[in-house]
């Protein structure tokens, strides 16, 4: 999908595009190479990712500005870097390949390491706190909600019985053993959903999303675009909701009547039904399987009064 994402920003007005999840800088590199009218405001909560991206993108000089924070602190980042408006924004949510592949980050059931999973290593709260500190009911809720795991209660009970759990390998073994043998043979690695759920909880991944999308839309100039790639149904629901709110001004009037609530529409939907990756894309990229892309374009504010 990378080509398609980069193409979305071809005609945006000159200025800075927010890369809210700079990661290794892959998307930003292509954006900077292809579209000379834009610079990148790159945010990441992971300092290792920011350092890697700064090295990779050094040749673009001051067309790249970076800031270490959670993306819902966008206003603070723009003030600190003296950027008033955005020409667009890109969110490529979730975890990066280096976070998964570097064993000591403690994200992966494939490598043995201390339970960690913090995207921002300055945060004190880690996977060990969730796994060893939550009640069985809270753990089951997290695993069911963020992992869509049918056996969440069994897994939570097994975790509580085996505490203290110090490592990813031990956690993975406990999860696998808690899932009935027949169910282990479908849907990828049996611990995948539980690890995803714990990671989302540790990093508060859903909490930051709605305010960040709202702010990105608000700070984008007309003609600019906001694109979000999400990998989890809970994320996609939030993205859809915030984009629809901007496209309708959050109008609460009955649909059969004209709008009387002073709602203001600020975007038009470019891609409302999420684009899902092709089989070939899924075969090339292990994260692509669950990706959903939604896009809006900023328009001059329009009162929806009487327009429906
Ligand atoms: C999927 S990777 C991005 C990869 C990037 N698009 C590239 O081309 O290299 C997601 C990145 O976003 C960061 N991230 C995730 N949630 C974040 C948040 N709420 N605030 C800031 N950074 C976040 C992660 O630390 C990770 O580096």
Domain residue extents for the chain: 2-94+206-303, 98-202
Q: What pLDDT shows up at residue 272?
A: 76
Q: Which CATH number fits domain 2-94+206-303: 3.40.50.2300, 3.40.50.150, 3.90.1150.10, 3.20.20.80?
A: 3.40.50.150
Question: CA 285 from chain center: how many Å?
Answer: 17
Ligand 1 neighbours, Cβ below 6 Å, are 21, 23-27, 43-46, 49, 70-71, 92, 94, 96, 119, 205, 208
Question: What is the reported pTM?
Answer: 0.93
* Nearest atom (ligand 1) to Cα of 29: 8
Q: What pLDDT shows up at residue 282?
A: 66
CATH number of 98-202: 1.10.150.170
Q: Which parts of the chain have pLDDT scores under 50?
A: 308
Task: Please name the residue whose Cα sits nearest to atom 20 of ligand 1.
Answer: 70
Q: What pLDDT shows up at residue 141?
A: 98
Mean pLDDT of the chain: 93
- Ligand 1 centroid to Cα of residue 50, in Å, is 10
* Nearest atom (ligand 1) to Cα of 28: 8
Q: What pLDDT shows up at residue 289?
A: 65
User: 2-94+206-303 and 98-202: same fold?
Assistant: no
Give the Cα separation of 143 and 194 in Å (integer): 6
Q: What pLDDT shows up at residue 284?
A: 66
User: Exposure of 185 by Cβ count < 10 A (0-12 exposed, 13-18 middle, 19+ buried)?
Assistant: exposed
Task: Please name the residue whose Cα sits nearest to atom 13 of ligand 1.
Answer: 21
How many separate helices (H) and strands (E) can be counted in the chain? 14, 7
Q: What pLDDT shows up at residue 205?
A: 95
Cβ-based neighbour number of residue 109 at 10 Å = 20
> Of the residues 4, 30, 45, 121, which should be mutated to test ligand 1's pocket, given the most ligand atoms within 8 Å of the CB?
45
Distances from the Cα of 13 to the Cα of 17, 78, 196, 213, 225, angstroms: 10, 18, 37, 19, 10
Q: In the chain, how long is the greatest CA-to-CA distance?
A: 61
Q: Which of 40, 52, 74 is nearest to 213 (CA)?
A: 74
DSSP conformation class of 13:
P
Q: What pLDDT shows up at residue 305?
A: 58
- pLDDT tens, 20-48? 999 999 999 999 999 999 999 999 999 99
């Amino acid at each position: 999908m990378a080509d398609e994402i980069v193409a979305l920003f071809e005609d945006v007005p000159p200025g800075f595009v927010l890369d809210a999840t700079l990661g290794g800088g892959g998307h930003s590199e292509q954006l900077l190479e292809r579209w000379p009218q834009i610079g990148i405001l790159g945010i990441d909560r992971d300092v290792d990712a920011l350092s890697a991206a700064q090295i990779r993108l050094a040749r673009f000089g001051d067309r790249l500005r970076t800031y270490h924070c959670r993306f819902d602190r966008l206003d603070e980042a723009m003030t600190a870097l003296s950027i008033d408006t955005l020409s667009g924004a890109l969110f490529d949510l979730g975890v990066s390949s280096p976070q998964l592949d570097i064993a000591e980050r403690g994200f992966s059931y494939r490598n043995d390491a201390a339970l960690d999973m913090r995207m921002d290593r300055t945060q004190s709260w880690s996977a060990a706190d969730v796994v060893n500190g939550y009640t069985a009911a809270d753990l089951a809720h997290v695993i069911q909600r963020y992992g869509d795991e049918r056996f969440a209660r069994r897994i939570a009970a097994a975790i509580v019985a085996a505490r203290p759990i110090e490592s990813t390998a031990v956690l993975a073994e406990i999860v696998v053993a808690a899932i009935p043998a027949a169910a282990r043979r479908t849907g990828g690695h049996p611990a995948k959903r539980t690890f995803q759920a714990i990671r989302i909880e540790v990093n508060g991944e859903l909490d930051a999303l709605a305010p960040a999308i709202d702010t990105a839309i608000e700070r984008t100039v007309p003609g600019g675009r906001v694109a979000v790639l999400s990998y989890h149904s809970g994320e996609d629901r939030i993205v859809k909701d915030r984009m629809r709110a901007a496209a309708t001004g959050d109008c609460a009037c009955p649909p059969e009547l004209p709008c009387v609530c002073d709602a203001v529409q600020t975007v038009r939907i470019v891609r409302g039904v999420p684009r899902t990756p092709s089989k070939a894309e899924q075969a090339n990229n292990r994260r692509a399987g669950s990706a959903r892309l939604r896009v809006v374009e900023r328009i001059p504010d329009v009162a929806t009064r009487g327009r429906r």
